[in-house]
Amino acid sequence: MAGGRAWRGRVLLAVLLLMGAAACTSAGGDAAADRAPDRRTADPAPAVLAALRAAERATEAAGSARVRSTASLGADAAMTSTGALAWRDGLCGALTLTYTGGGVAGTLGELGSTSTQARYLPDAYYTRVGEEFAAKAGGRHWIRYGWDDLAGLGGADGPGLAGQIREAAPHRFLALLRAADGVRRVGVETVRGERATHYTGVARPAGLPEQTLDLWVDGDGLLVKKAERSRTQDGEVSQTAYYDDYGVRVSVRPPPPADTQDFGELVRPRGRN
């Protein structure tokens, strides 16, 4: 039926919008391997690279942190996220994503999904949908995106949505900045009442737009703030994230199978309907 096809198209669109918004907070790919050979500026001072490498190691060793962020995807969406992530054995954690403006928020609002929960687990990424969305999409409230299913989404030249999302651990941004152009130490500033050293550079991850990346590292060598911005064909994309409570215990379970629908099943054509 035409109505069924139209609704199915809206469901698929919303699913992909949720995934794209989640991916915008990630580093995207192996930063060291993606370093561009045609340098725009002189290599950074060895002391800057050494400080960033030490911060990367300390942040990675911490294993987990609480995350709070705001993001703007041009005219498409504005969103906030809060939660906690762990990364010792692959990315694991849970975030609450709230869409506060833009076209995505309007589309998702029609489906009752302006705020959603996201869970990162070794086997898949899960997102919770609203009641109206669930009623039209099999009656289940969670969508499971297997990492293999997402490998081909997000562009053939880059890491894909799976790669982007799985690179969301904070130490990956320090690796990305080490491989960036024009890396330099800006100075010591205050981040939420604490002194932190500000570093900046222009990163060019494989398959993703060039981005200006600013990172703040505290006295313990831990990343406490990240700000990134880039320009795409749809407008400027920016995100600011804060990290604290390093070492926090993160325990996440997959949603109940009876209340979960696989992404592949959701988008698979159903006969002529």
Tens digit of each residue's pLDDT (9 = 90 or more) over 88-137: 988 899 999 888 887 766 777 776 667 888 899 988 889 888 787 777 76
All structural domains of the chain, each given as residue ranges with its CATH number in brackets, are 2-267 (2.50.20.20)
Helix (H, G, I), strand (E, B) or coil at 187: strand
Lowest mean pLDDT among 61-70, 127-136, 172-181, 218-227: 127-136
How much is the pTM?
0.81
Q: Label residue 160 left, alpha or beta by phi (over 0 means left) and psi (-120 to 50 means alpha).
A: left
Mean pLDDT of the chain: 79
Helix (H, G, I), strand (E, B) or coil at 47: helix
- CA 198 to CA 55: how far, in whole Å? 12
Nearest to 48 by CA among 164, 166, 180: 180
Q: b vs e for 144-172, b when ≥16 Cβ sit within 10 Å of the residue's Cβ?
A: bbebebbeebbeeebbbbbbbbbbbbbbb
Q: How far is CA 108 from CA 3, 17, 105, 154, 243, in A?
A: 18, 9, 5, 20, 28
Helix axes 46-62, 171-178, angle to 10 degrees: 160
